[in-house]
Every structure is written in C-alpha cells, then in structure tokens.
Amino acid sequence: MIKVNARATFSQEGPFKLTTIERRNLQPHDVLIEIKYAGICHSDIHTARGEWGPVKYPLVPGHEIAGIVSQVGSEVTKYSVGDRVGVGCLVDSCGECSNCQKGEEQYCLGGSTATYGAIDRYGQYTQGGYSTHIVVTEDFVVRIPDAIPLDAAAPLLCAGITTYSPLRHWGAAPGKKVAVVGLGGLGHMAVKIAHAMGAEVTVLSQSLKKKEDGLQLGADHYYATSDPETFKQLAGSFDLIINTVSAQINIDAYLSLLALDGTLVNVGAPADPLAVNVFSLIGHRRSFAGSMIGGIRETQEMLDFCAEHNIASEIEVISADRIDEAWERVLASDVRYRFVIDISTMGNE
C-alpha cells in the first residue's frame, strides 16, 4: 500500500482534517497520479452530508482531479511518467455490459465505481481527489490538452462533462435556443460550452447579480427567475433547458418555457423528489429528462473541444485548509464559479 496525505471529513458536520489514506500498490494497468488540483463540486457536499444516502467516514471527496503521472504499471500503454492527466467521477466499471461497450461507463449495468465513497473491485473503499496522489486504472484516465492550465482544467472533469454530454445528446447547435438554470459550477460551464456549440444561450438565475459575468461567459440573454415577468416573457421559447440547480425548484414553471418538442434536462441532483404536473408535458409534447456525467471517451472529446475553443473553468484557487469555508460559500451560491484546491498546500495548518 502507498500512504498519502489527504483531507477528510469524519462526520456529516465536518470539519475537514489532515489525515493519511492508503492507495493500492500499482497493478499492471494502473497509473499513479500526483494530484496538483482538485475542484469542489456540489456533489461532494451532497454526498458527505449524507443527503444521497448513508456514507462511511472518514470520507475524502473530490472527483475533479488534475495532475501529473508519476509512475506507471508494467503493462500501461496509454500514459507515461510526466503526462498531464485528469480523473473524473468514475474510476472503474465492468467493461462488458452493453452500456460499457457503447462507451457509456457511467451507466454501467453492473454499477460503475465512483471515485470516492464506493467499494472498488479490490474491496477497497474509494477516496477522492482532496489528496496528494491517486491510483487509477489507465482506462479511466484522460489526457489534459497542453492548452488548458491544470487548475482551470480540473472542474472540466465533472462540471465540464456533465454539461457537455446533454448539450451534445440533445443537439445544442446554431439555430437552437438553450437555457441554463443556475449560474454555479455546472451552469457556467454549460453557458461556455453551449455558446461554443453555436446555440443561442439564456441564463436563468435567481437574481441579476451575475448578469455581467453571464454575458461575458457567452450568454446572449440573462433573466432573474425571482421576477414573475420572466416566466411570462419566455413562455414556450426554448428547445433545451439544462437545470443545474442543487435544490428543489418549480419544474412546471420551467417546463412552461419549452417550445414544442423541447426538453428540460435535469443535471442538478437535489435529495428530495421534484414534482411534475403531466399537463406541463402533454401540452407541447415536452420531455423531462436527466443525464449523469459522461463516459470516458466523451470526457476526452469534451477536453479536446474545450482546448480547441479556448474554454476552461472560471476558478478561485484555495489552500487545503480552507475547504470548509469554500463549502459554506458554495451552499450560499457564492461561488464564481468553481473552487479549486491547490494540492501543494495539503500540509497547511
């Protein structure tokens, strides 16, 4: 076993403490990554606070990992020492089911292995990126293009792919009207990516506080959902709505903004069920859908797309002793637009 430093939460309430965890010894297809940066995703908070079900503590969250390969197993062919690489929300899957065969490992029928809080094929409890090193089988590692700085690349591994995948699947392109609900970590990536795909992009945020930012990120229009006029004005106008909100919202109100055959895709994952009145769907043959991250091939495609279109995340880099504070700010929607932990500060008091 390889002992490494990490920041873990020991209960639902926290706080984070410096600790050591064990990474497995390198298997023939494993890569050892020296983590440089780890993004803070709202899913880290939902998970650690037990909102999605019971978890085992201590827990080391983090599934937006960017780093450098520091060692490779005897049969690794895809990566070499020194490569700039990333790891997202998955570290393994069965590789054999029909979904894995299609490259949609996130929907593995046998259950893919989450980067933290899961039991892997070796029987070990997985621990995430708020740590100095991670061991991952090469098939679940992606390459970070040279054009993207490692700190701003980290959030692409979850926020980037989670928005890229549904935008591609539901055809964001020139001539399509796309709305993004919530301008946080996922939301700001959705705006950048949908704009780069050529769609006409509208942000639907709680207030107009971030309007200037939203337009700069690539939005064509920006509305406050606290203003009831917004829902009247935009009724029936969007082909696609990506809802990134981490809390419950009135889904019927947002469905009313879809045009004929439009789709509202929920990527936000609040703990409690969202109610839907079927008449909101029946009226204009609308769809209410969901989407979970993306497969490994598509994650690489997204990174290459971002490099080509000069896209990265807008980040606030923090030291490892400030994770609790950053989480509180995420919960208060006070994030512009992703916190990223500088792992070189892991030992900070």
Minimum CB distance to ligand NAP, residue 320 (Å)? 19
- Label the pairing between strands 30-39 and 65-72: antiparallel
In whole angstroms, what is the distance from residue 68 CA to residue 143 CA? 10
Q: What is the DSSP code string of 221-240?
A: EEEETTSHHHHHHTTT-EEE
Interacting residue with ligand NAP among 48, 245, 255, 315 (CB under 6 A)? 245
Contact partners, residue 212, CB within 8 Å, separation at least 6? none
* Binding-site size, Zn ion (CB under 5 A): 3
Q: Are 279 and 251 in contact (CB under 8 A)?
A: no
Per this entry, what is the length of the chain? 349
> What distance, in Å, lies between the first and last C-alpha atoms of the chain?
26
In the complex with Zn ion, the residue whose CB is nearer, 41 or 296, is 41
**Can residue 41 be called a binding residue for Zn ion (CB under 5 A)?**
yes
Minimum CB distance to ligand NAP, residue 197 (Å)? 19
Interacting residue with Zn ion among 65, 100, 118, 158 (CB under 5 A)? 158
Minimum CB distance to ligand NAP, residue 93 (Å)? 15
**Which tokens go with 232?**
């009247």
In whole angstroms, what is the distance from residue 335 CA to residue 189 CA? 13
In the complex with ligand NAP, the residue whose CB is nearer, 262 or 268, is 268
In the complex with Zn ion, the residue whose CB is nearer, 158 or 194, is 158
**Can residue 263 be called a binding residue for ligand NAP (CB under 6 A)?**
no
Interacting residue with ligand NAP among 93, 115, 126, 205 (CB under 6 A)? 205
Q: Are 263 and 240 in contact (CB under 8 A)?
A: yes
Q: What does the binding site for Zn ion look like in residue numbers (CB under 5 A)?
A: 41, 43, 158
Q: What does the binding site for ligand NAP look like in residue numbers (CB under 6 A)?
A: 41-43, 46, 158-159, 162, 182-187, 205-206, 244-247, 249, 267-270, 291-293, 330, 333, 335
